[in-house]
Every structure is written in C-alpha cells, then in structure tokens.
Chains A and B, each alone.
Chain A
C-alpha cells in the first residue's frame, strides 16, 4: 500500500494505492472516490471503543476499504481545508489528536485517551488516539491549515487547538497556559499541552475552533 498526497497544500487529498486483497482503514466520511472493485465494510470495532471514539469527536464507526480481484485505489480527504501527511509507524507509535486521524494501514491499533482529566470539564476536550503497530505500517493524518514539524528537545508547549500528532516517546500533560486559570482564560490561549523528552511534534497552522468562532459570530443567529 502506498499513500500519495495530491493537490497540496490547502485542499490535499490522499490517493491510496491498494494491491489485491489489501485494505485501508479510514475515518467515516473520508472517502471521496474509489475504484469499483474496492469494497467498503463498516465496523464499530467493539461497542466501548466506538463510544470512546464518539466522545473523541470522531464517529462511532470506521470503514475498511479492500481491493478485490486485483489492485485498486481509494481517494481520501479531510472535511476542512488543509494539508495531509503520512507517518511511517515506529516501534513507539504516535499520539494523534482524534480529529486529525484520516486513515491507517489495517495493522495499526488505535486507542482513545482523554488528554488530561481537567480538560474534559473545560469543554475543550483533548481526545487523543494512541496509534501503535506490531509491524511496519503507516498513518495518514489531516490538518486544518498547514502542517509544521517541530523537534522537541527537552520541553515544548503547544496550544491544544494546534496539535496534530506527536511521537509516543514524548511525555505530555494537558494544562493551563499561564500561571493561573484566569490569566490562562484571558490570554485566549486556553489549554496547552506540555511536552517533555525527545521526539517530533506535528502542529497545524490554523485552529479549527478559532476559525469557527471568527466566522460563526458574523453569521445570523441560528435557532437553538
């Protein structure tokens, strides 16, 4: 299997080349086109994991696309404007902001985690997926805006709204950005993720909820 990223950067799309009988696991709604010999199967992957995914802002169900009777292709895209990137699986795996997950090779296991207990009540739930694989594989991530790769060498602080993914070698904790809750709130920075250790972090150059607030506030009110 191979992920080819086209139409970069603002409206990126991944063309997934499948060999005969190969599969790709994709987020619900991500498929925009495919060869007719590719068949789709929908699965929840267990009730609890489905419910956890739903809390993570993802859909309950995921789709598996399999090429039958020869090679095939699937076109995958993210709903919002932005770039995409393929991450080759490592022995440590990755953490992925749940809404950034687009697809993976079928050997990748994902587990939903709540990034810090406090964030759950702050309304800006930082749900992350821990993605690991026992054998070589890849992860396809999609961002809102451009994707910038940072190297964490010791310590880094990243706004949770800009997080896309990071190496699972890093320790992370979610917390307030300033010294007190009020200052954090007033700074407009809300929640941040504190990273410690060595590893790569991918951030998105736009924040979807900041965008939603900027545009949404200019629109006429909706009925409740």
Chain B
C-alpha cells in the first residue's frame, strides 16, 4: 500500500494506492471521496457491537467504519475528513501506541488496533474528553484536525499545550492538567487549563479550535421569538 497526502495544509486529503489484492484500509464513515469501482467496501461495526459502541460512546468516533479491500493491484482510494484542516500520518511500528483526541481518527489498516482509553478525572478537564482513542499495532495511522497540525518533539523539559488544541501524542508521553499562571490568570487570562506533557515522544497540536468558530458564529444566529 502506498499513500500520499494531497492538498496540504488547508484542505488536506489522502490518496491511497494498493499494490496487491486483499490489502485493506479501515476508514471513518463518510471519509471516502472516491475509489476504484471494483474495490470492495464493507460497512461494519468495527470489532463487533460492543467495541464499536464503546468507541462511539466513549471515543467520539462513528459507530460504523468502512473497510475497503483491494480486488486487483493498482486500485486507488481517496479519503478526506469532514472539516477543513490538515491530515497527518504516523507509521506505527508496534513499539508504542498513539493516543488520539476523539474525532481525530481518519483511517488505518486492520493491522492497527483502535481502542479507547479512560483518562480519569483529568480527561474531564483536558478538553480532550474522558476517553482517548488508543491506536497500537503496525501500519500507517491517518488522523485529522480542524486547523493546521503542528508537531512538537517533546523531550527533556516537556511541553505545555492548551487543552482545546491537543490532537494526539505518542505513547512515550504522559500528561497532567494544570492551570497556567496564578489564580488570577485562571479566571482572566482566557487561557484556562493546559496539558503539561512529559516524557519522550511527539505531540500534535491543532492551530485552530472548532469551538472558537462556533462561539464566534453563535451570536449571529437569529433569535427565537418564542
């Protein structure tokens, strides 16, 4: 399987090309832009009803995923996320898991296992939700975000990221949720809480936050008379 990220960075998408029949990729529902007609598509509850429901309810992903299977060499598939923004890929090598914020998963071959991971109380404050998606295994993992995706290689001193901007991170990192600055800053800085990452690994930050856009548009909605 070969792939290429196209139309970066504002409206990024993925072009996949399969070398052999039987190669598969599992994609988030509605992610397909196009495919070779002969390619097989199966919609399923990935990992069975329970696992799928858990991902849907806890990980913020769709209940159904689509599995695309090549039926002949050279077939192509194009995938894109819903919102505008960037797409990134990490080649999983079985050594460490990758954690993704809910909604960031785009696609991966079946050799990458997707599960949910309870974040504890800090998940409640992290802005990333109580559960993260935990990906492990081998193969390319495609993920997306609203806005640009900025990679930070964390080492030594760690890194601080606004809670609303975490896209994902590799398994070598741990985080705690802290306030930034003093007590006055907690209420007045507009920065609120941050995730403080420590360890060795890579952190992905989105340069925009969809809820800021929503907050901006909200006052422009018509006012109901009732």
Contact = CB atoms under 8 A, between A and B. Distances in A.
Given A80-B212, A80-B213, A221-B224, A33 B150 contact: yes
Interface in B199-226: 205-209, 212-213, 215-225
B152 interface: yes
Contact of A42 (B159, B161, B185): B185
Contacts of B191: 28-29, 31, 40, 63
B47 to A, nearest CB: 33
B160 A35 contact: yes
B36 interface: no
A216 B223 contact: no
A213 B223 contact: no
Interface residues of A, number: 45
Interface string A27-40: 01111111111111
Q: Is the interface of B mostly helix, strand, loop or mixed?
A: mixed
Most buried by B among A13, A59, A80, A223: A13
A6 interface: yes
B190 A59 contact: yes
Given A7-B9, A11-B148, A59-B190, A34 B216 contact: no
Interface residues of B, number: 45
A182 interface: no
Nearest to B203: A33
Given A36-B196, A79-B213, A215 B220 contact: yes
Given A6-B148, A41-B181, A208 B216 contact: yes
A212 B152 CA distance: 33
Contacts of A215: 217, 220
Contact of B181 (A40, A60, A213): A40
B180 interface: yes
B109 interface: no
B50 interface: no
B148 A221 contact: no
Contacts of B162: 31-33
Interface of B: 9-10, 84-86, 147-150, 152, 157-162, 165, 180-182, 184-185, 188-191, 196, 205-209, 212-213, 215-225
Given A6-B148, A42-B181, A75-B150, 8 more contacts: A10-B84, A10-B148, A61-B188, A63-B185, A75-B205, A81-B84, A221-B222, A221-B225
